[in-house]
Structure 1
Amino acid sequence: MREYSNALSSHRKALKIRQKTLPSNHPDFAQSYNNIGGVYHQMGECSKALLYYEDALEILQKTLPSNHPDLANLYNNIGGVHESMGNHSKALSYHEKALEIRQKTLPSNHPDLATSYNNISNVYSYMGEYSKPLKIQEKTLPPNHPSLATSYNNINLVDDHMSEYSKALSFYEKDLEIQQKTLPSNHPSLATSYNNIGSVYESMGEYSKALSFYEKAVEIERKTLSSNHSDLATSYNNIGWLYRFMKDYLEALSYYERALDILKRILPPTHSSIEDVKKSVEVVKRIIQNK
């Protein structure tokens, strides 16, 4: 629900109880440190998140076998923080540790493996090695494997930056084709794909096609997500931008305001996302008033 202060308060209460009743190296401490670290990461306070994650790691490395899934999850979390901080080599190292454990302990179609492949793909993309994870996965995974869909999705980042929209669109469509074969029709990942394809069409100036895919995404999100979910805010904002480009300012304002209403409910009032959408609302209002 993005109520970070309440989340931190509850996690710290749990930690205080554990400090009074458990030995200092008990695995439950690692759970508390991991939870608090996760909240700080969501808040963008990466240095604090890293401190708590490292405290959790110190305990788990002493109390769990080296291939335990909880260690993989923690390596994954630490890798995510380093990724957010721009420490790409460290991020890659931790994501690879997580993947190594998951490959040994999980079935090949487990979602956590897909997460690891996705995370490693993201880091390689930032490092400029865009196709490496995909080449590995194409050799080792069946053609409909969800991890392949994720890699096709990540490859688009390069093509978007190079303005090679047709290539980006091709990878997004491969991603969508795999997901349509392997996921239920209302799965949130499909909404993400529709949003991605819509974004490319928008960049290509094909606004009617973009709007069609954005609306498909929103249709799924309204059915599967809570009314104040951040993904809905993102979709409303995307559609607002599109209508703004199409000079349909009343529709743009309507969607911007929907996005803003959600963001005000789930984020601190000074959050940058709120400020960005507020600026869009103000710009569109001025355009409408001056017409």
Structure 2
Amino acid sequence: MRNHIAASLALAVALAIASPAFAQKADDADSLLTRAVELYNAGNAAGALPLAQQALAALERQHGPDHLDVAFTLNYIAVLQQQLGRPQEAEPLLLRALSIRQKALGSDHPQVAALAQNLAMLYRAQGRRDEAELLFKRALSINEKALGQDHLAVAANVSALAALHQDAGRPRDAEPLYKRAIAINEKAFGADDPQVSPSLVALGELYRTSGRLAEAEPLFKRALAISEKSFGPDHPDVATSLHELAMTYWVLNRIDEVEPLFKRALAIREKTYGTDHPAVAQTLNTMAGFYRDQGRHADAEPHFKRVANMYEKALGPDHPGVATSINNLAVLYQEMGRPTDAEPLAKRALAIREKAFGKDSPQLLNTIHNLAELYRTLGRDSDAEALNKRAETIKQKAK
């Protein structure tokens, strides 16, 4: 599961801090936001949220509801809400922030583009691809016009649009956009600069998921070499490249090479972030999937359990990431012949997703399917059939 939310937070902060207004905040709001960012970076989005909300209240009291500093903080809170699995609460905050910036700066300002991009990321995470595409294209158009074709903000825009196309199964549309992002970053920084590595990894992931493994491997190796040369062997960017390279070798069935790469990536992330950070959970979750695929259920189970506990601690009990992790554990238990252990987990995963996305969202389909299969294993054919009918109804509504 790609961490779209963390990426959107990084983009939101990077673009919004560039605003001169950010440096002019009242001391209390500034200190509250600084502490919120520290908590988020430590993996504690739930702790960051109330501090950011207090900062918003202070800014509204001092400047009124339509100040640019208010828009910045609304944007930040919205991304935190999304990180915590509350997209319905994030959307009105982003819309309000976008309205403030448009009114203050005009509809073609780069700061408006930044908010359009973040709103598009929210819609992408919700599966609202048509709405997301319009906003991604609007952000790209604004920045191309205001900043030029080769600006770094444009590289971020085209990368985000490429990822949306990749989600939608449109690799031919995604590939030239990823290549354009690489070209912009290489022109700005040089071919061996670490700023180029994320774009290389993104294109490599597109090739890997498209079955173009021979093209994916050298991109991951190049990104790995750049990061190791620039930062040393223990940097988080090194861990990212190791993780992706391990995934590629897994698909290539070069099994003996997979586990050492995952273990090294895990060690780097634990050293960098601590043992309970979502970045650590990502590697643990993928390792658990690898062990499961290899029939090593006893090795997979503690990893899946640890991931579920980490996501619940970091994101709260009702986050979709928690649903994904406990659903994975439920499937594992079913494969291990433990359906009575699997059922409560599968039901809880479905309840979390219903709360987060609504009862008719396509985001529920995988969880519904898994629960239906579990009911068939338990001999509860009527319950399984009811779930299958529900899934079909959701599919029809989504067309």
The equivalent residue for 2:250 is 160
Q: 1:144 to 1:121 in 2, by over 3 A?
A: farther
State the shift of 1:14 in Å: 5.2
Q: 1:138 to 1:37 in 2, by over 3 A?
A: closer
Q: 1:20 to 1:130 in 2, by over 3 A?
A: closer
Match for residue 189 of structure 1 among 275, 279, 284: 279
Match for residue 244 of structure 1 among 309, 334, 339: 334
Q: 1:162 to 1:20 in 2, by over 3 A?
A: closer
The equivalent residue for 1:88 is 171
- Please give the alpha-carbon distance, in whole angstroms, between the structure 1 residues aligned to 2:102 and 2:241: 43
- Please give the alpha-carbon distance, in whole angstroms, between the structure 1 residues aligned to 2:261 and 2:197: 17
Of residues 247-256 and 270-279 in structure 1, the stretch that sits farther from structure 2 once superposed is 270-279
- Please give the alpha-carbon distance, in whole angstroms, between the structure 2 residues aligned to 1:192 and 1:178: 13
1:132 and 2:218 equivalent? yes
Report % sequence identity. Answer: 23
The equivalent residue for 1:73 is 156
The alignment's TM-score, normalised by the length of structure 1, stands at 0.82
The equivalent residue for 2:13 is none
Match for residue 348 of structure 2 among 250, 253, 258: 258
State the shift of 1:62 in Å: 1.9
- Please give the alpha-carbon distance, in whole angstroms, between the structure 2 residues aligned to 1:157 and 1:242: 20
1:235 and 2:333 equivalent? no
State the shift of 1:140 in Å: 2.5
Q: 1:59 to 1:282 in 2, by over 3 A?
A: closer
The equivalent residue for 1:50 is 133
What SS does structure 2 have at the residue aligned with 1:228?
A: coil
Match for residue 224 of structure 1 among 314, 330, 344: 314
Letter in 1 for 2:307: A
The equivalent residue for 2:261 is 171
Letter in 2 for 1:130: A
The equivalent residue for 1:39 is 122
- Please give the alpha-carbon distance, in whole angstroms, between the structure 1 residues aligned to 2:311 and 2:271: 19
Letter in 2 for 1:75: V
- Please give the alpha-carbon distance, in whole angstroms, between the structure 1 residues aligned to 2:252 and 2:157: 34
- Please give the alpha-carbon distance, in whole angstroms, between the structure 2 residues aligned to 1:5 and 1:213: 31
Of residues 34-43 and 14-23 in structure 1, the stretch that sits farther from structure 2 once superposed is 14-23
State the shift of 1:123 in Å: 1.9
Letter in 1 for 2:223: Q
Letter in 2 for 1:37: A
Contact 1:118 1:147 in 2 (8 A): no
1:60 and 2:110 equivalent? no
Q: 1:174 to 1:223 in 2, by over 3 A?
A: same
The equivalent residue for 2:113 is 30
Contact 1:37 1:53 in 2 (8 A): yes
Letter in 2 for 1:53: F
Of residues 127-136 and 44-53 in structure 1, the stretch that sits farther from structure 2 once superposed is 44-53
1:203 and 2:286 equivalent? no
Contact 1:121 1:151 in 2 (8 A): no
Of residues 181-190 and 86-95 in structure 1, the stretch that sits farther from structure 2 once superposed is 86-95
Contact 2:339 2:374 in 1 (8 A): yes
Letter in 1 for 2:220: L
Give CA deviations for 1:20-78 in whole Å, capped at 9, x if unaligned.
66544333442343244323322334344222222221211222255654333222211
What SS does structure 2 have at the residue aligned with 1:131?
A: helix
Q: 1:88 to 1:62 in 2, by over 3 A?
A: same
Contact 2:113 2:142 in 1 (8 A): yes
- Please give the alpha-carbon distance, in whole angstroms, between the structure 2 residues aligned to 1:195 and 1:267: 23
- Please give the alpha-carbon distance, in whole angstroms, between the structure 2 residues aligned to 1:69 and 1:265: 37
Aligned length: 288
Letter in 2 for 1:152: L
The equivalent residue for 2:241 is 151
Contact 1:53 1:74 in 2 (8 A): yes
- Please give the alpha-carbon distance, in whole angstroms, between the structure 1 residues aligned to 2:98 and 2:227: 42
